[in-house]
Amino acid sequence: MAEEKEPVTIKKYANRRLYNTGTSTYVTLEDLAIMVKNGEDFVVFDAKSGEDITRSVLAQIVSEQENKEGQSLLPIAFLRQLIRFYGDSMQMLVPSFLEQSMQSLTSQQGKFREQITQAFGAGGFGTLEEQVRRNMEMFEKTFAMFAPPFVRGQAKPAADKPQGAGGEMDELKRQLDEMQKRLDKLGGKE
């Protein structure tokens, strides 16, 4: 069995600086966010009082991530509902529910990534986007094959008219005039 590593200890000083005791360096909230993303566990203690302030530092990281352009994960309605649970009789159930929900989402995310990789190879989503683009191109080409010649720009120009936007319109008018003459002839009008 693999031994679980002890979490890295981070000390927060009065000047708001964070000190990583494992590497003996000062770190930023961004550095801590990277540690979380890499699966590294840490605890944060107030250097003066020794109080565990990990929760408030993690909340601060979430707040900073939420304020980055295009990084928002928490919908406003969710945040409002979460605030409503504070002081509510259901408050004690919320943490375990959220934790289980996140574990489930993480598990499903892994399965989804595996399925994408199996279906589209190592390129994953990039390959998926490329496939969608190719399908759209093929759809457009197929659609063009069944379009009438004048839509495709392949109408035969009239002998005395130059081909182009005006020429195509003239060709359409000429074809409509011919059809009208035939209909008139069939209807007995001359």
- On whether the pTM is more than 0.75, the answer is no
Rounded to the nearest 5 percent, the helix, strand and coil shares of the chain are 60, 10, 35
* Domain ranges across the chain: 1-68, 112-146, 149-186
Complete edge-to-edge strand list for the sheet that includes strand 42-46: 25-27, 18-20, 8-12, 42-46
Angle at 111 between CA 124 and CA 43, to 5 degrees: 100
| Tokens (6 digits) for 5 | 């590593």
Burial group, residue 4, by CB count within 10 angstroms (0-12, 13-18, 19+) = exposed
Beta bridge partners of 46: 12
> What gap in Å lies between CA 162 and CA 168, rounded to an integer?
9
Taking only the tens place, the pLDDT of each residue in 15-54 is 989 999 999 999 999 999 999 999 999 999 999 999 999 9
Rounded (5°) CA angle 38-40-43: 140
Q: For residue 44, what is the DSSP state?
A: E
Residue 109: the pLDDT is 86
> What pLDDT digit, counting tens, does each position of 132-188 carry?
777 777 766 666 666 555 544 554 544 444 455 567 777 777 887 887 887 777 776
Residue 33 half-sphere exposure, CB side, CA atoms within 13 Å?
11
CA angle 56, 57, 60 (to 5 degrees): 85
The answer to whether 37 and 51 have CB atoms below 8 angstroms apart is: no
Tens digit of each residue's pLDDT (9 = 90 or more) over 92-106: 999 999 999 988 888
